[in-house]
Chain A
């Protein structure tokens, strides 16, 4: 149990995907202009990460390892994630239209989101157990959502701020990421 908590806090705060591991920067700067969109994107990413971690762990341990074809992992993982995203999209569209309208449009973007593929690679490199993989994906996703939520709140106010013309938009967003990153260093000594 302690180990799982350590994995969770480590993935969510100490090694935050966006601010420490440089993963998922495209949605971080692209979808963080409105709070609602940012939270939907974060939840969608967390959901896909958890299911992808479960699926890739099973495939890794029951197909790749027994047949000794671990070197195929890049191709297999990306195909699994791409098909999973398609299935989830279809499933949500059929069963819950309100949910689909809320974050359905973000699902196709997630296929090429390096955070999702990144968490499956990290699970493989760190050799986590099945439960550990899912917990690490949940931690990574929630940490991602948290940072996206903070960032979008700041950026909504930033629209009204009087920043220099050449710094408006992306450049000033990077400078805010600096301050957030420094703040997250405070979590460094937690475990």
Chain B
């Protein structure tokens, strides 16, 4: 179980997909306008990544080396189609707000990257640990960014996704005068840039 835990834990900080590897930036910035969207995207990524890691790890010994990338892409695209249809049927609002970023999970570098770097070389159990760790790391990064963006950009924090509707708190002055820029793209760039700089300053990440 030791190695399982290790493969899981490395995804959280040491090889956090967003902050350390700078992978999957497009969906991270696009869906981090509210924590509800962030959680919805995480659910999509966990289903696809877990499925693709398990399948690719299971067939890793029978896949010809030359054909592996097209095979991985077809497996991932199939899983994304499944998730797309499930979301469309069950969570139409979420499907609407994720927009084209839900089908674009298929070209998310995190998923193909883990298939190529990990699942195609390791047994199923560790591939599951790797998928879960990377997803939790992705979720932490997404939640951190969307938490800040939603508070600064709307002046309140509420979660409405999967039929849940909770309003955590509303800030008095920020509510009337929200900093709308944080909901817009430049605000996302600003937050990520400052967070990256902060992490490097604190020594969590290496500077260049």
B1 within 8 A of partner (CB) = no
Pair B74/A175 contact, Cβ less than 8 Å:
no
Closest Cβ of chain A: how far from B81's Cβ, in Å? 5
* Interface membership of A54, Cβ < 8 A: no
**Chain A residue contacts of B200, Cβ below 8 A:** 165-167, 171
Contact B193 A171 (CB under 8 A): yes
- Is the pair A79, B73 in contact by a Cβ cutoff of 8 Å? yes
Q: Mark B1-45, 1 if CB is under 8 A from A, else 0.
A: 000000000000000000000110110011000000000000000
Which residues of A3-21 are within 8 A (CB) of B? 19-21
Closest to B105 in A: A74
B91 close to chain A: CB less than 8 A: no
Q: Does the CB pair B185–A22 fall under 8 Å?
A: yes
B172 contacts partner chain A, Cβ-Cβ < 8 Å: no
Question: Are A181 and B84 closer than 8 Å at their CB atoms?
Answer: no
A20: contacting residue among B25, B78, B107, B185, CB under 8 A: B185
* Nearest Cβ on chain B to A143's Cβ, whole angstroms: 14
CB pair B197–A164 under 8 Å, yes or no, is yes
The number of chain B residues with a CB under 8 A from chain A is 40
Q: Is the interface of B mostly helix, strand, loop or mixed?
A: helix
The yes or no answer to B165 lying at the interface (CB within 8 A) is: no
Q: Are A75 and B22 neighbours in the complex by a CB distance under 8 Å?
A: no
Question: Which chain B residue has the least Cβ–Cβ distance from A112?
Answer: B107
- Contacts A71-B81, A171-B200: A22 and B103 contacting too (C-beta < 8 A)? no
User: If the complex has contacts A79-B73, A168-B207, are A74 and B190 also in contact, measured as CB distance less than 8 A?
Assistant: no
What secondary structure prevails in chain A residues at the interface with B? helix
**Bound-state Cα–Cα, A122 to B104, Å:** 11
A18-32 CB mask vs B (1 if < 8 Å, else 0) is 011111111001000
Question: Is A114 interfacial (CB-CB < 8 Å)?
Answer: yes
Q: Does A178 contact B (CB under 8 A)?
A: yes
Q: Is the CB of B208 within 8 A of A169?
A: yes
Instruction: Please judge, given known A-B contacts A22-B26, A169-B208, A174-B192, whether A74 and B84 are in contact too, CB under 8 Å.
Output: yes
Residue in B80, B198, B208 whose beta carbon sits within 8 Å of that of A74 in the complex: B80
Interface assignment of B64: CB less than 8 Å from any CB of chain A:
no
Q: Find out whether the CB atom of B70 lies under 8 angstroms from the CB atom of A171.
A: no
Cβ contact within 8 Å between B100 and A122: yes
Bound form: Cα–Cα A25–B23 in Å? 10
B77: nearest chain-A partner, CB-CB = A75
